[in-house]
Structure 1
Amino acid sequence: MGEVREQFKSRFGFVMSAAGAAVGLGNIWGFPTRAAENGGAAFLLAYIVLIALLAYPMLVVEITIGRFGRSNPWDSLRMLDRRRVSLWLSSIAGLGTILVPTLVMTFYCIVAGWFLCYMLAPIANILQLTSLAEWLTDFSTSRNLTAAAVFYILTIAIVQSGVRDGVEKWSQRLMPALFILFAALIAYLLTLPGASQGLAMYLIPDMDKLWDSELLISAMGQAFFSLTIGGGSMMVYGSYLAKKEHIPKMAMQVTAIDTSVAFIAGLLILPAMFVAMNHGVQIYGENGELLSSDTLVFAVLPSLFETMGSIGSILAVAFFLLMTLAALTSSISMLEVPVALLQEKTKQKRSLITWGLGLLALLISTLIIFNFQQLFGLVIAVSTEYMQPLTALVTCILGAWLWNRQQVIAELKQGYPELMTGVFWKIWPWYVRVVCPLLIILVIVNTLF
């Protein structure tokens, strides 16, 4: 199995694919609104620190396990140690790495479908297809089903082509496009009245807020989920990485890109909010608190674009295209995880497995859409608030405590011969043994209580 396994063609391809898996709606939608709710620049500063303290060390663990196993996350975890307790724990973590991305995809593609609709609505208005534009922006079962199905087809079409011709090829196209759209939107929005207020809130920290416990916990949760720790994607992408590659350096590059996208998203969203407020659009509720993130994206920003005439239509298309591309780079990584498992276990054609799993996920999404009030929030909570942190914790225990130290050294030294003399090895082993589990437990405890 190891001899015929696909690998990423280039380092750039891996970095773009892994960064694409991490960069998604959580960065571009979730991070800026969390920052706005928690003091702007103070939240940004805490987030950057916690990315370094928690997310990066765990990212190295997951990529290293994936490359060592050269297999899907389930089998890679079971290769670490054959003792009974290790196999029991690896079964828990392995199941989590399959279920988490699969469940996340079932609600993620619904939300991504909304962005797709909001991207097409201004075009429909320009073409004077008013009824179509209204249908695209109205919350309805037919709209949600159609949009989710279209987004699933886009995801399946990319993943079925394989690692090099699908995941890597399209990640190398979509990620640069993401940055170009960001640059164009930010350059324009920063020229508008009110943008400087949002920029000041985002870049000038109130140091008193930095030590607020609620802000720190929120920043820790955002940092943890930002790199999809416990989601299986990084492990499976690591399994496609050549042995010659320097894992700590490549993990740092992925972390830097992911953090940069979150930072740039803040440069776009926070000024846009204050531009909207300058145009008379409400962004704060009657209690003085910021409106919810879905209200901001699907109500406030479209209202802003409507006040700007024809240029607003262009901006709306560009913004929601940006969101759609970000969602697509993540959804392909989510589908890749179960596809890798079934392809290796059944030896069936990749296209058959991809379409089968994609349609099964669409069926679950359909169930969620027809029972939206009962299931949408429940699936989000179960997959991201409970299963993902638990999976990450067990993976951390396996990788840091139960995996043979000599095997870890041998795996890392293949792309980093001077490992034992570098600062990285002096800090990383004890850090992921002690600090990372404690921080993950803190995330879990905060969710529970």
Structure 2
Amino acid sequence: MQSANTNSTNHFSSRLGFIMAAAGSAVGVGNIWGFPTQAATHGGGAFLLVYLVLIFILGIPMLMAELMIGRHGQTNPADAMGKLGCNSLTRSLGKTIGLISIVTAGLIYTFYSILSGWFVSFAIAPIATAFGSNDTAAWLMDFSLSRNLVFTLIFSTLVFLVLLQGVQEGIEKWSKRLMPLLLIMLIAGVAYIFSLNGASEGISALLTPNFAKAIAPDTLINALGQTFFSLTIGTGAMMVYGSYLSQKENIAKLTVWVAFTDSGIAFLAAFLIIPAMYVAQHNGVQIFSPEGKLIDSDALVFTVLPALFSTLGDTANLIISVVFFMLLIIAGLTSAISIAEVPTSYVMQKCGFSRQRATLIIGLLLTALSLLLAVFFETLFSFTIMLTTQMTQPLVALGIAIYLGWIWRQSQLLKAISKQEGVDATGLFWRIWPRYVKYVCPVLIIAIAIRQFV
């Protein structure tokens, strides 16, 4: 894959590089942490079944829409959305939607960096214990302002060191390294957990669908939300990555690769976490309340799983704990890199700054905001999550669906589709997809948004 400007490094150098980077953006903490928790809470196999269906009916069409707009615009989300407008009003509204996505990405980064910083501290804690430094281990695992500030800063430093290296040498190269490593660690973790007593009960719970729960409104809406947010739709990240693609790349094929990689990682994570929960229960760790509800679902990886690891013996506890939290660090890094790239690319293009200067400015700004969030954690952390994931992400995604379906001139969209190698724009798929995004996707997105407040 070559860009129009072959000398530019602001394009992915290969199809594999894009797939690894885009899949890394999609494969985040939500896949390793959120997806298994959702599955455990909403009927195991029933949730997996509904999620798989929704990947097809919402995830893939909307991911294609965001990539198509980004690739067409070859610029930041604000200007890419603005280009779709047919008059000054629709161009201004498009730019506003794009700007909201950029701000949303920045705000998501602030709580994401704090959460991922915890993974770093939890990965180091068992090592401190092994060296006999119990006080240090306790500080690393206990919630405190000092711990949060230190590890938020460490994680942010890692993210922006990658972004400083650019698209090909930073984002693409590190995605190619981290994503295979994440996959290997997941498979190894699943194989180990499967060998422990109690795992078979978790596997059974995961694979046995409860069809009554599968059609329950709660399961449907939560699976829809997980699909929507796991693919980072509505943050502008995929639009930015789309702008780094050649006009000749087949967006449909790339989207399927990214969606299936994302879903595959989520399924593997479920096969790691849910059997591990039942292993923990077998070893005397309480994971369900007397009413059968999952205890501490939001803090599962910080409470239930460390309690499980501690029952496996000192050596196993050290190895498994470090590997598990390294897994979460990698997932956090690949997503945080894509999210931070959104405002970084905007500053580069709008201000004419070099990547180094833009990365430094955005890095300092987002890190400062993250530290501010850590200082005022009780007031701002949950509010920021609610504001971004429940309000602005659905709003941006709705705007993307409306603009592709209703605002973008069909002749221009058809031209963008026709530029792709090996694509017949008059084929059934390419005739249905724009109409599907136009009519069906907005209804599904509005359903998610309404459900958040009902």
- Which category describes the TM-score, using the shorter chain as reference length? over 0.9
Matches within 5 A, 1:87-126: 87-126=91-130
Residues 1:316 and 2:316 are matched in the alignment: no
Matches within 5 A, 1:404-419: 404-419=409-424
Answer yes or no: is the 8 Å Cα contact 2:86–2:407 preserved in 1. Answer: no
Distance 1:19 1:95 in 2: 24
Answer yes or no: is the 8 Å Cα contact 1:2–1:71 preserved in 2. Answer: no
Segments of structure 1 that go 5 or more residues without pairing to the other structure are: none
Distance 1:95 1:318 in 2: 38
Structure 1 equivalent of residue 12 of structure 2: 8
Instruction: Please report how far the alpha carbon of residue 448 of structure 1 lies from its aligned counterpart in structure 2 after TM superposition.
Output: 2.6
Instruction: Please report how far the alpha carbon of residue 87 of structure 1 lies from its aligned counterpart in structure 2 after TM superposition.
Output: 1.7
Distance 1:112 1:40 in 2: 26
Structure 1, 326-335 or 1-10: larger mean CA deviation:
1-10
Structure 1 equivalent of residue 261 of structure 2: 257
Structure 1, 390-399 or 281-290: larger mean CA deviation:
281-290
Distance 1:13 1:381 in 2: 32
Instruction: Please report how far the alpha carbon of residue 205 of structure 1 lies from its aligned counterpart in structure 2 after TM superposition.
Output: 0.8
Change (3 A) 1:171 1:256: same
Instruction: Please report how far the alpha carbon of residue 2 of structure 1 lies from its aligned counterpart in structure 2 after TM superposition.
Output: 7.4
Instruction: Please report how far the alpha carbon of residue 417 of structure 1 lies from its aligned counterpart in structure 2 after TM superposition.
Output: 4.3
Structure 1 equivalent of residue 190 of structure 2: 186
Answer yes or no: is the 8 Å Cα contact 2:9–2:167 preserved in 1. Answer: no
Deviations 1:332-390 (A, max 9, x none): 00110001000011112211211221121121112211111111100000011100000
- Per the alignment, in what secondary structure is the counterpart of residue 373 of structure 2? helix
> Of 238, 243, 247, which residue of structure 1 is paired with 2:247?
243
- Per the alignment, in what secondary structure is the counterpart of residue 271 of structure 2? helix
Distance 2:299 2:342 in 1: 32
- Per the alignment, in what secondary structure is the counterpart of residue 293 of structure 1? coil
Structure 1 equivalent of residue 157 of structure 2: 153
Answer yes or no: is the 8 Å Cα contact 1:92–1:394 preserved in 2. Answer: no
Q: Which amino acid aligns with 2:183?
A: F
Answer yes or no: is the 8 Å Cα contact 1:117–1:136 preserved in 2. Answer: yes
Structure 2 equivalent of residue 209 of structure 1: 213
Answer yes or no: is the 8 Å Cα contact 1:93–1:392 preserved in 2. Answer: no
Residues 1:388 and 2:381 are matched in the alignment: no
Instruction: Please report how far the alpha carbon of residue 95 of structure 1 lies from its aligned counterpart in structure 2 after TM superposition.
Output: 1.5
Query: Percent identity among equivalent residues?
Result: 45
Distance 1:207 1:345 in 2: 51
Distance 2:425 2:350 in 1: 37
> Of 380, 387, 400, which residue of structure 1 is paired with 2:405?
400
Q: Which amino acid aligns with 2:330?
A: L
> Of 253, 277, 297, which residue of structure 2 is paired with 1:273?
277
Structure 2 equivalent of residue 367 of structure 1: 372
Instruction: Please report how far the alpha carbon of residue 421 of structure 1 lies from its aligned counterpart in structure 2 after TM superposition.
Output: 4.2
Distance 2:360 2:287 in 1: 41
> Of 151, 156, 162, which residue of structure 1 is paired with 2:166?
162
Distance 1:147 1:311 in 2: 25
Answer yes or no: is the 8 Å Cα contact 2:9–2:168 preserved in 1. Answer: no
Structure 1, 353-362 or 374-383: larger mean CA deviation:
353-362
Distance 1:424 1:289 in 2: 43
Q: Which amino acid aligns with 2:349?
A: E
Distance 1:425 1:350 in 2: 36
Distance 1:278 1:422 in 2: 54
Distance 1:181 1:378 in 2: 33
Answer yes or no: is the 8 Å Cα contact 1:89–1:398 preserved in 2. Answer: no
Instruction: Please report how far the alpha carbon of residue 292 of structure 1 lies from its aligned counterpart in structure 2 after TM superposition.
Output: 2.8
- Per the alignment, in what secondary structure is the counterpart of residue 117 of structure 2? helix
Answer yes or no: is the 8 Å Cα contact 1:135–1:143 preserved in 2. Answer: yes
Aligned residues: 449
Structure 2 equivalent of residue 290 of structure 1: 294
Instruction: Please report how far the alpha carbon of residue 149 of structure 1 lies from its aligned counterpart in structure 2 after TM superposition.
Output: 0.2
Deviations 1:253-301 (A, max 9, x none): 0001001111111000000000000000011134431023333110110
Structure 1 equivalent of residue 310 of structure 2: 306
Answer yes or no: is the 8 Å Cα contact 1:343–1:349 preserved in 2. Answer: yes
Distance 1:53 1:277 in 2: 36
Distance 2:75 2:376 in 1: 36
Residues 1:376 and 2:376 are matched in the alignment: no
Distance 1:366 1:223 in 2: 30
Deviations 1:131-172 (A, max 9, x none): 211111010000000000000000000011100000000000
Answer yes or no: is the 8 Å Cα contact 2:417–2:423 preserved in 1. Answer: no
Segments of structure 2 that go 5 or more residues without pairing to the other structure are: none
- Per the alignment, in what secondary structure is the counterpart of residue 425 of structure 2? helix
Q: Which amino acid aligns with 2:435?
A: W
TM-score, structure 1 as length reference: 0.98
Distance 2:21 2:76 in 1: 16
Distance 2:425 2:156 in 1: 45
> Of 182, 198, 203, which residue of structure 1 is paired with 2:202?
198
Answer yes or no: is the 8 Å Cα contact 1:110–1:147 preserved in 2. Answer: yes
Structure 1, 64-73 or 358-367: larger mean CA deviation:
358-367
Distance 2:9 2:276 in 1: 45
Instruction: Please report how far the alpha carbon of residue 425 of structure 1 lies from its aligned counterpart in structure 2 after TM superposition.
Output: 1.2
Residues 1:441 and 2:446 are matched in the alignment: yes
Distance 1:269 1:258 in 2: 16
Answer yes or no: is the 8 Å Cα contact 2:250–2:423 preserved in 1. Answer: no
Residues 1:131 and 2:135 are matched in the alignment: yes
Residues 1:54 and 2:58 are matched in the alignment: yes
Q: Which amino acid aligns with 1:444?
A: A
- Per the alignment, in what secondary structure is the counterpart of residue 290 of structure 1? coil
Answer yes or no: is the 8 Å Cα contact 1:5–1:240 preserved in 2. Answer: no
